[in-house]
Structure 1
């Protein structure tokens, strides 16, 4: 195991489960002291070396200020920020309320803005820093009933561009990782709702040219690269971790099946 982040202090919002947890553990594996900011309170993070769990509500400016102050009191610096906290609401535009819209905006977009606002000055004092936002392929393509969610993730991509331009002169880089379908507890529960789970899993895999869905660790590896000096000249980028799903033009099912059959014959 390498130690590319030795001596660094990293923050991962919403990092006590799912993709966020995988990111936090990967950064800790590489030597970073990782502070997880989460609504869940004290819990499992304390069982992993290098992880600290602290209460954080990214929708409240006062909570963010107190959280940042606490991290600085404990560690004296902040080098890496991963804005991972996010929520999704499955509703048609007719069913969505203004409160639904405001809630998604507060967590998914206002939260990353405020985190960057209060942490950037600390990175500036260090002369360097890396901000990694967790966006989504749904800023490029959208699932039904995800209008508000897609709008927030497109906003995150715009925020990334602005931060990369404004903070670049201070030695601070900002990029976004855009996960596709990842095998998280949340997505697994969605799949398990269907009576033919094996069919759903097979069809989900076929949406991706690589032939399968992704794992949280694969998203975490991309975040690690962007947080480390290995990507020192990369800023303002939206990097998809989606098995090329967003690069494949959709075909009618029958044509797609014929293509796969021909490909299998050619490679047999």
Structure 2
């Protein structure tokens, strides 16, 4: 427990589970009052969640966003931190994607953060400060197969971050993006469990990261807390990868890569 965000009010979209839930809990640990907005309005998630308030939110609908923000202001009176975490992914080759698939990803992953910022910024301007943290992805730099639409949305989030940082800096508002590598979430675990040799997949996923393992949701949350706090007061417009150096490693021929991996796993 800390107090880096004592007295602050934070919003986390898509915060009922996974990375979003970890972010919400860490913000609360540091003293923030956290409004969790999620399409899954699971009020039972409130049990034992000190400092968290759960509210219904559909980031694809502007009316829902405005209603949600009005409720947050009614309850807390201010908004200091916005974390745009809500996101979805589809796994389809470009010729199998439909226009509806594309529009859905754009609506959740890119239009949602835009609309949230649009309606939160006036309140941040009123109090003369604020911090926006977008959850991007390493897929804004590099792309997994069948993730064309997803990568396009995350690259867009990175561009949105740059524009907001430049436009809102004079108002005392900072904007940054955290780009996770492979994180151990329920969604990713379900994907791994689809494969017959789960232990092999887990081992090879870890070896993709030079630190030798995949990440935990709390490690993304720790980066968000830093960006939301005054500890990062001169940091704005940055895309910060939290990926165990995965995006920094140049691909090697298989035989050389095996030697490298062997060193990582050597007792």
Report the TM-score range of the alignment, normalised by the length of the smaller protein: over 0.9
Cα shift at 1:54: 0.3
Which residue matches 1:253?
Answer: 254
Look up the SS of the partner of 2:93 in the other structure.
Answer: coil
Change (3 A) 1:75 1:245: same
Which residue matches 1:166?
Answer: 167
Which residue matches 2:144?
Answer: 143
Look up the SS of the partner of 1:37 in the other structure.
Answer: strand
Cα distance per residue 1:43-101 (max 9 Å; x no partner)? 30343110000000000000000100110011000000000000001111011000000
Q: Which moved more, 1:41-50 or 1:111-120?
A: 41-50
Look up the SS of the partner of 2:195 in the other structure.
Answer: coil
Distance in 1 between residues matched to 2:3 and 2:216, nearest whole Å:
22
Distance in 2 between residues matched to 1:75 and 1:264, nearest whole Å:
49
Q: Do the aligned partners of 1:46 and 1:53 also contact (CA within 8 Å) in 2?
A: no
Total equivalences in the alignment: 266
Cα shift at 1:257: 1.5
Q: Do the aligned partners of 1:16 and 1:45 also contact (CA within 8 Å) in 2?
A: no
For structure 2, list consecutive stretches of 5 or more residues without a partner in the other structure.
Answer: none
Distance in 2 between residues matched to 1:165 and 1:186, nearest whole Å:
34
Equivalences for 1:66-85 in 2 at 5 Å? 66-85=67-86
Distance in 2 between residues matched to 1:161 and 1:150, nearest whole Å:
17
Which residue matches 1:155?
Answer: 156
Change (3 A) 1:7 1:262: closer
Distance in 1 between residues matched to 2:264 and 2:210, nearest whole Å:
12
Cα shift at 1:36: 0.2
Cα shift at 1:262: 6.0
Look up the SS of the partner of 1:47 in the other structure.
Answer: coil
RMSD between aligned alpha carbons?
Answer: 1.2
Cα distance per residue 1:226-260 (max 9 Å; x no partner)? 00000000000000000000000011221112234
Which residue matches 1:31?
Answer: 31
Which residue matches 1:7?
Answer: 7
Cα shift at 1:153: 0.2
Change (3 A) 1:62 1:220: same
Change (3 A) 1:260 1:55: closer
Cα shift at 1:155: 0.1
Look up the SS of the partner of 2:101 in the other structure.
Answer: helix
For structure 1, list consecutive stretches of 5 or more residues without a partner in the other structure.
Answer: none
Q: Do the aligned partners of 1:43 and 1:53 also contact (CA within 8 Å) in 2?
A: no
Look up the SS of the partner of 1:43 in the other structure.
Answer: helix
Distance in 2 between residues matched to 1:264 and 1:182, nearest whole Å:
19
TM-score (normalizing by structure 2): 0.97
Which residue matches 1:233?
Answer: 234
Which residue matches 1:222?
Answer: 223
Change (3 A) 1:122 1:247: same
TM-score (normalizing by structure 1): 0.97
